Each structure stands twice: as C-alpha cells, then as structure tokens.
Amino acid sequence: MPHLQVNHTEIYYETAGEGEPLLLLHGLGSTSRDWAEQIAFLSQNYHVIALDVRGHGRSAKPNGPYSIPLFADDTAALLRALGHTSAHIVGLSMGGMIGFQLAVSQPALVKSLVIINSGPEVIARTFQEKWAIFQRFLIVRLMGMRGMGQMLGKRLFPLPEQHAIQAQFVERWAENDKRAYTEAMRAIVGWSVAAQIHTIQCPVLVVAAEHDYTPLAAKEAYVANLPHAQLLVIPNSRHATSADQPEALNNAIATFLASLSPTGNA
C-alpha cells in the first residue's frame, strides 16, 4: 500500500498502466477504490494515478481546517514527488473542484481537465441551497456516517437493479471518519474560483449526468466562460456517474483524451 508524505501528511495512492500520467480525484466521502472501473479501462493506455484525498480512505486524517486549495496543494506535491511535471486531471464532484483549483493556481501541472458533475464554486445563495447544506451537517451529526450513506445511496442508486451498488456504497460510506468528513464538507462550502476560470487554457471536458444534483443550465453557464471547453451529457445517470454509467464515462474520457493526441489515438 504505497503512501507518500506530502505537506506533513501521509497520502495513499495507487498506480496502474504506462503512458502519459492521468490522475483521478474522487468526491467527498469517496476513495480511490471507487474509480475501479476507470482504472481498469484507462490504464490500458495511460499511467493512471488514483489517490485518497487527505481525510479520506487510507490517507491520514489530521485535524483541520481543510480547504480545496490545501487538497490541491497535496495533489500537486504528490504528482511532483512521483516525478511528474504535468498530468491529465479527472475529477468527480469534490475532485472536480480540486481539478479546477489546480488549473487556476498551478496551470502548468494540468495537461487537460475532465470535470464530472462538479463546478467552479459552492456558494449557497438561496434559502433552499443553504437549507440543503445545513441538512447535510445535521444528518451527519444526528445519524452518523452510515445514516448519511443510506440517505445518499437511495438518491444515487434508486433502481432495483442497482441494489448491490447501493449496498456497497452504504458500507463504504460508513467507513468514513466523521470528523474528517465534516472538515471536508466545510472545505467545500464557500469555495470559489468562478471568477478565474476564464484563465484556464488547457482543454476541458465537462461531463454532466442527466439527473445530477445541479441543473444542466448551471454547467452550461460556466462552460461558456472556459476558453477551450466542451460539455457532454450522460443519459440515465445521477451524481455518481463513475459507478452508474462506467462504460459511458470511460468512453467519454478516452475519446476526449484521444482527440488531444497528434494522431487522434489514445
């Protein structure tokens, strides 16, 4: 189980395959394990790196405060420690936020960016948005991580044929450290690089699940501010697209990356 000491914190990571480096960044409450389908597929053509963000999985869980810039600094330090000066970055949800932060604050490190069900800010402006955030904190406090996992599992994987995925999701969610998870939630709320994304010069693919939490219009709005971005909608998917539509997501990432190579091949 490889770990690297970065920013005074042990970060767990794993690698697979050979080729250009491709980094996978998971979402809040998730871990590198949840990229299994993507690692198996993408490592056929890329050197895939998947890490556990601090406070998650097999990485250390130091006291906070945490922040998205801190997560991005950890990620950059890990990549450099592994000998990479740049990489393709793929981020889901919170991982997409980290990807945006890297592209804004350390652009030389980002060859290309794939943002999945995410955005460049989490600013609660309406009462409904503020209430949704408050509910998350309240559920964790009153029901713990398993209770939160059960609630989210029903929303993310509601179909009868998704029962096994939902059960696995709940078990993995229950493994989260409550304190570290809460610190990571606090890191997300109020974060924004929306005013800076127009400076991102690398190619960007924004993947939007048909039934994601945030409406497609919100993604269309920020994509319009990205100089070199395209938007792709994946049907019959909710927020956890890597799990509920892995083949469609894998093909979308592979097609996008192949379009960036001189020969057009991954």
- In tens digits, the chain (266 residues) has pLDDT values of 699 999 999 999 999 999 999 999 999 999 999 999 999 999 999 999 999 999 999 999 999 899 999 999 999 999 999 999 999 999 999 999 999 999 999 999 999 999 999 999 999 888 888 888 888 899 999 999 999 999 999 999 999 999 999 999 999 999 999 999 999 999 999 999 999 999 999 999 999 999 999 999 999 999 999 999 999 999 999 999 999 999 999 999 999 999 997 655 54
* Alpha carbons 69 and 175: distance in angstroms, whole number: 25
Q: What are the structural domains of the chain?
A: 3-128+191-260 (3.40.50.1820)
- What is the DSSP pairing of strand 47-51 with strand 21-25? parallel
**Euclidean distance between CA atoms 147 and 151, whole angstroms:** 6
- pLDDT for the residue 263: 57
C-alpha of 115 from chain center: 8
User: How far is Cα 218 from Cα 119, in angstroms, rounded to an integer?
Assistant: 8
CA 19 to chain centre: 22
pLDDT for 96 equals 98
Residue 78 near residue 5, CB atoms below 8 Å = no
Q: Which of 193, 224, 194, 189 is nearest to 206 (CA)?
A: 224
pLDDT at 1: 64
d(CA 110, CA 39): 19
β partners of residue 87: 110
Whole-number Å distance between alpha carbons of 266 and 88? 13
pLDDT at residue 135, rounded to an integer: 87
Q: Decide if 216 contacts 223 (C-beta within 8 A).
A: no
9-16 vs 110-116, strand pairing mode = unpaired
Read off the pTM: 0.96
- 265 close to 258: Cβ distance less than 8 angstroms: yes
User: Which pLDDT score is estimated for 200?
Assistant: 98
Q: What pLDDT, on a 0 to 100 scale, did the predictor assign at position 154?
A: 95
What contacts 71, CB < 8 A, 6 or more positions away? 53, 54, 94, 98, 101, 187
